[in-house]
Structure formats: structure tokens, C-alpha cells
Amino acid sequence: MNYSEFLKIIKEDNIDNFYLFMGHEEYMMNLAMERLKDRYIMESFETLNFTRMEGKDCHLDDLINACETLPFMSSKKLVLVKDLGAFMDNIKGSREEEFYQYLDNLGDHLVLVFLDNTSFIKKNMKVYKYFNKKQRAVEFTKLDKKDFSTWLNSILNRHGKKMSMVDVNYFMDNSSYFSRNID
């Protein structure tokens, strides 16, 4: 699944309870997290309903404790684990199967997002295959020109601005986003 498909899922309110965000487009990952927060968490209760954890400091018990807390005055609780690769290193061995079983039994009160923007997780790894089989792997790759144009126009529309297609194309050509030297 890509960024656009994930946004469509949020818009249709068909969100599942866990996802893997992977790729180099960290900005788009952050935008997707903001969309999740805007959709499911009241701003005044964000500190109670949004938990951010670092993978290197997080163990399975810490994750379970964060996920078992019910949301307060919001429809969902959001838990973000940054650096899935480091988290997986922490739970190697017998705890790894327990991790997958826990994900299979998560409640509907939660959206758990694992982030891998370091490209540690490869498509041939067990963890990726697990998320992909469940259709919960969201790949944030470089946008093509059509998607970039759509994204740019949505940002402009939110701020009450407009740009002609000629100007959008000029902006894209001169932004270096599509340069081959940039990954």
C-alpha cells in the first residue's frame, strides 16, 4: 500500500489497528501520522491518547503497557514506535512470536504504527512479510509527478491558494525533488 491508499483508508474510516510505515519519505510519514491524530484524537487530550516510543528503548512489555491503556475522550489511542529495526532487535528469540500473537489480538481502541525510515526492514524479512500479508505495510516512496502535483494542490487549497498547472509544472521542474541524485 502507498501513501495515497493509506489516506483513503483514513478518510473512509476503515483504519486497522496496526501498520508499518517504511521508506525514505519521512515528511510524508509525519503527514500521515498527523492525519491519524486529526481524525482520531482530540487535540486537548493528545497527551493522554498519543504515545511515542523509541525502538531502541522499547521492549515488548513496554509496548503492551502502552497499548493496553484505553483512550480517554477520543475514539482511538495512537501509539507510534520509531525505529522498528531496533525494537525487533530487543525482542529477538522467543518474544518475537509473542509479538506477532499480540498484534493479531489487538483491540479496536488502538492504532499502533511502527516506523522504519532507516531502510533496516527489507522485503525479505519475516517482520515485513507479516505486515505485508496482513496488508498493513505502507510504503512511503518518492511521489511520481501526478501524485506530487495532487499533493501540492491539496496543500495550496488548504491555505486558500491556487496555482495553474503551468506554474505547478514549473515548480516541480525547479524543486529538485525529481533529481536523480536525491534519494
pLDDT in tens, 59-96: 999 999 999 999 998 889 999 999 888 899 888 887 89
Average pLDDT over residues 93-119: 90
Helix (H/G/I), strand (E/B), else coil: 133: helix
Helix (H/G/I), strand (E/B), else coil: 148: helix
pLDDT band at 118 (very low <50, low <70, confident <90, very high): confident
pLDDT in tens, 168-183: 888 888 877 766 555 5
pTM exceeding 0.85: no
CA neighbours closer than 13 Å in the CB half-sphere of residue 139:
11
Q: What is the pLDDT of residue 178?
A: 67
Asked if residue 40 lies in contact with residue 75, where contact means CB atoms within 8 angstroms, the answer is yes
Helix (H/G/I), strand (E/B), else coil: 177: coil
Q: What is the pLDDT of residue 180?
A: 56
**Beta pairing partners, 77:** 110
Residue 146 has pLDDT above 90, yes or no: no
Q: How many CB atoms lie within 10 A of CB 76?
A: 20
Please state, for a pLDDT cut of 70, what percent of the chain lies above it: 97
Class of domain 3-141: alpha beta
Helix (H/G/I), strand (E/B), else coil: 42: coil
Residue 109 region, left (φ>0) first, then alpha (ψ -120 to 50), else beta?
alpha
Helix (H/G/I), strand (E/B), else coil: 23: strand
CA gap 115, 83 in Å, rounded: 6
**Residue ranges matching CATH 3.40.50.300 in the chain:** 3-141
